[in-house]
């Protein structure tokens, strides 16, 4: 291995998460696994592989490039759905490959119809409606014109879905806003029903909505963060804690472990400053170990004198500032440490664990951000 660190993805943890989520979702609702942001930093190719091994056949991406990556590795002709960005130039390829995509404005819908006409292949569209997120989606006032356009072009369109997205289902402070969104979505649905416009599936729920608002589950849910083993927020977990089975209070398992090895060790005398500047002065004679992971690898500078890693089954602190490519850690109290020893930056070693949450709190990033900021060039592989 030529890299300074690597990421392991646990397949058994993934299987547990999917089992738990399927129980939550129930048998009538389909599961789409969200793999945007390079599968929340886990690697699209890794996740599609293990998800398909667990029977998942529907994937959601943000953009067209991600959707094509899913298609390229899918072994089961899974459905792929783009929830966000595509260029109109990409539409031909997407329609030809049968990739589903959101339409949330007339220009995209018209472009899709034009491409479908030209190719003689129906475009698989999901109509996104604006219910209160205020980012994308057809407005209530758009409905008549939208309905006409859909009805006039049914031979060129497969109406795969009617959908929306909630503005913060993971926090109870947004309760009223989310409830309003659910109501408006149902109003849209009823209105389209009255016009005899049928959508194959209604889908609105992300992880938090699935876990906290049962009536948002509908025909399909779009689950990201929970499938990777994280509660959307601490609050979501606390809210659900009582209702979790007594023998499974911790049903979501982290998939990711981030590991490196010791580059070298060094003796430091009491009173010496470690690393740049004077942020850390050795309070005693010390042994430090250099770990070749720094802010350039996604290990935040905020973790200077704050972060912790695992070496030899012990939690050891970062001493001094995080530099671009390395951190120093205090290994004075470890019995035997040498170059090449495993360092766990996120994950377990023996009976100790560095959680992403603790790591996130000390660097003030939420799980989502921390995961997706892990540089794409750190090698990732699937382990049991």
Ligand X SMILES: *Cc1c(COP(=O)(O)O)cnc(C)c1O
Our finding on whether 211 is near ligand X (CB under 6 A) is no
Binding to ligand X by residue 217, rule CB under 6 A? no
Task: Indicate the residue whose CB is closest to ligand X.
Answer: 224
Between 82 and 311, name the residue whose CB sits nearer to ligand X.
82
23, 97, 183, 276: which one is catalytic? 276
Task: Name the residue among 383, 379, 361 with its Cα closest to residue 370.
Answer: 361
Other Cβ atoms less than 10 A from the Cβ of 344: the count is: 21
Strand order across the beta sheet in which 327-330 lies: 264-268, 286-291, 327-330
> Residue from 137, 224, 251, 320 that binds ligand X (CB under 6 A)?
224
Q: What does the alpha-carbon distance between residue 109 and residue 126 come to, in Å, rounded to a whole number?
A: 10
Span from 206-214, 266-274, 278-286, 332-340 in contact with ligand X (CB under 6 A): 206-214
**Residue 34 found at the interface with ligand X (CB under 6 A):** yes
Whether 336 is catalytic is: no
Residue 170 CB, nearest approach to ligand X (Å)? 7
Q: Which residues pair with 104 in a beta bridge?
A: none
Catalytic residue among 16, 36, 217, 308: 36
Inter-axis angle of helices 175-194 and 143-152, nearest 10: 40
Let me know if 36 is a catalytic residue: yes
How many Å separate Cα 119 from the centre of its chain? 34
Q: 209 or 311, CB closer to ligand X?
A: 209
Give, as one character, the DSSP assignment of residue 242.
T
* CB distance 348 to 383 below 8 Å: no
Q: Which of 42, 69, 126, 222 binds ligand X (CB under 6 A)?
A: 222
356 binds ligand X (CB under 6 A): no
33 forms part of the interface with ligand X (CB under 6 A): no
Cβ-based nearer residue to ligand X, 36 or 380:
36
Near ligand X in 303-342, by CB under 6 A: none
Q: Is 135 annotated as a binding residue?
A: yes
C-beta separation of 82 from 64 below 8 A: yes
Contact between 223 and ligand X (CB under 6 A)? yes
Least separation in angstroms between residue 210's CB and ligand X is 8
Taking CB under 6 A as the rule, does residue 275 contact ligand X?
no
Q: Which two tokens stand for residue 6?
A: 């690597």
Would residue 43 be called left, alpha or beta, if left means φ above 0 and alpha means ψ between -120 and 50 degrees?
Answer: left
Beta bridge partners of 286: 268
Residues that bind ligand X in the complex, under the rule CB under 6 A:
34, 36, 83, 165, 206-208, 222-226, 232
């Amino acid at each position: 291995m030529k890299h300074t660190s690597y990421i392991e993805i646990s397949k058994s943890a993934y299987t547990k998460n999917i089992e738990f989520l399927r129980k939550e979702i129930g048998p009538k609702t389909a599961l789409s696994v969200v793999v945007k942001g390079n599968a929340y930093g886990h690697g699209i190719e890794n996740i599609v592989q293990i998800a398909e091994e667990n029977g998942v056949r529907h994937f959601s991406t943000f953009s067209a490039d991600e959707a094509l990556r899913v298609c390229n590795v899918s072994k089961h002709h899974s459905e792929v759905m783009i929830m966000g960005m595509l260029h109109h130039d990409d539409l031909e390829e997407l329609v030809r490959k049968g990739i589903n995509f959101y339409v949330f404005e007339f220009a995209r819908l018209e472009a899709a119809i034009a491409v479908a006409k030209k190719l003689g292949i129906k475009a698989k569209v999901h109509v996104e409606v604006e219910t209160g997120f205020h980012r994308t989606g057809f407005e209530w006032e758009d409905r008549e014109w939208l309905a006409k356009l859909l009805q006039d072009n049914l031979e060129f369109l497969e109406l795969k879905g009617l959908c929306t997205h909630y503005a913060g289902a993971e926090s109870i402070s947004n309760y009223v806003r989310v409830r309003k969104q659910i109501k408006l979505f149902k109003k849209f649905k009823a209105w389209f029903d009255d016009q005899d416009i049928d959508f194959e599936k209604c889908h609105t729920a992300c992880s938090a909505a699935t876990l906290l608002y049962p009536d948002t589950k509908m025909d399909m849910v779009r689950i990201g963060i929970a499938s990777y083993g994280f509660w959307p927020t601490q609050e979501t977990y606390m809210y659900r804690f009582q209702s979790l089975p007594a023998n499974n209070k911790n049903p979501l398992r982290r998939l990711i472990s981030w590991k490196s090895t010791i580059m070298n060790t060094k003796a430091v005398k009491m009173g010496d400053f470690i690393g740049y500047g004077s942020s850390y002065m050795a309070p005693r004679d010390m042994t430090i170990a250099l770990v070749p992971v720094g802010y350039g690898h996604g290990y935040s500078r905020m973790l200077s004198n704050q972060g912790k890693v695992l070496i030899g089954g012990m939690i050891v602190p970062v001493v001094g500032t995080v530099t671009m490519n390395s951190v120093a850690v205090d290994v004075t109290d470890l019995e035997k440490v040498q170059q090449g020893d495993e360092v766990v930056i996120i994950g377990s070693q023996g009976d100790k664990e560095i959680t992403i949450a603790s790591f996130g709190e000390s660097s003030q990033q939420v799980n989502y951000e921390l995961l997706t900021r892990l540089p794409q060039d750190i090698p990732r592989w699937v382990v049991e």
